[in-house]
Chains A and B, each alone.
Chain A
């Protein structure tokens, strides 16, 4: 590329940017940020929600101008000549930027015309892009009809209609299933490796950051660290352990218990065991005082280092972990654990000719956390909507808490709580008004309503923001408010649809702590998620694809299906991909035909 290897492609010095917040107060989105991105590298920008990632990328793309500091991209001053930069870079915003009422081909052509790509260049470039993105068979399909993963790939293809001098990607993998995520990564790394295009991307997946050559960690507008990922993981060196219980204690409960230990900075379930990061200055021997637990040191990962880096700053991002754990219900569901509360029997859902859900069956017992996994378009959402009574099955039996949701709706729905994928409370109403409305909707009134709202305000620390409008809350608070509203009436069953999509690692940790605490009190929880590590929190998982259940069982059982000769200890993600690919591979007779 034209830029010499020694000169940074992007260089920022003391960048600052602030916005007017909802209450007219100034919010500092970026504060004194200085960095350099070298040519030919893959750079990741990581940090919790609201850290300033999108703002920084928009500054680089010349879509915003910094309040202070200097920023040069490809040698051009952003403030002076944003157009010169926009002529040369590729940029994919968080919200695709595709025209949904245009076909795949029309979207590509539009961007090729914008970049002045000649007809002969197109002939060379299009087949390559099609091969890269596997969108070849769908060129005439409208972009709006593509699945989430395909949209992202098309968005990427549109920015690559000509070889850019620099590629900026804002959270390209949010809401994308593991399979598509892997494909997207293949494209990006090929681009850097083979074409030498420098790429900067922001991500909430810390394992993705670990694959980059250069990582910048942003937190509350400040750059906490920049350098190779090993610099971050190095922070946790010698403090990471794999913990296994001799007594066969479930990983989820062990994780919850370990998180409460003062010496433990972070704990997460993984492959039936628990991975912990110990605090700085904790006693040498991790096993001291914990009988029946085996601690084995393991090499630190990027994520461990990230937790170490952020933990001292976590004060505002999330409540102290003890609060999250103390999710005491006043009237926990009746203690008949083990009874099936959800029975799905050969349920089919057709939309016209299209079979979205094809004869699925499963049972969920009281107090279980049940995970519904699957690639985009597998039928998860349809199944979920049928379980909540939002859709009527075409055929088959569906019983929730012993009732048919369609027949005796009011009383059956009284027993369920639902947290949707996207924030779905009233944006125009304040936090308190939202809670008040949903309490009334669930038939709570008088002193009881007051009491439950107070409970929710206290449990989710919503008191200080009670008068803020729902729509203006930061992502993490929206999530808490939605969960609080779904728990006001103390439901027996809680439905969570991709509730952690796009959330940062800290918020996810906090979220799961609440969910496991609820499950311990007998609440049945059904979740869908694209984070395979979260599947480790579940008691049982079902993997769906093309409307069918491909695999069902405990996390350990599912993981076992991913084991190969070369990979004896597969992660949940390995297993997931193995299951899907095995099912998608053409059967022997098909191959013969």
Chain B
């Protein structure tokens, strides 16, 4: 009886020792991985910061103005002016097409164009467009992470 007890005790010690050993090394390797990941995160952050500065530098208004001046024969850009704002009524409609009859009025408080009551306003382009996976596959784009 007593011997059996010793045997169990020894087995238990071996099991616990093995478990401790493995946990110990697992912990150490996890710590190493965390450190590695943190290092990579810091590296990525640093690169993002550099890229943001580079982006800001490349898009600095004075630089863009100079580039536009140099290449405007091809770009054909014009300065934004009050006359740049248009009204639906200025569009030449095809004969027989729907023509809004109610004049458009500018909201003095908000500087918005008030729509004639019977016409829908165009919707602003959404920032993100959800494209179905099947469509992406069809045009040969792999779904990103």
Q: Do A and B come from one complex?
A: no
The residues of A with any CB-CB pair to B shorter than 8 Å are: none
The residues of B with any CB-CB pair to A shorter than 8 Å are: none
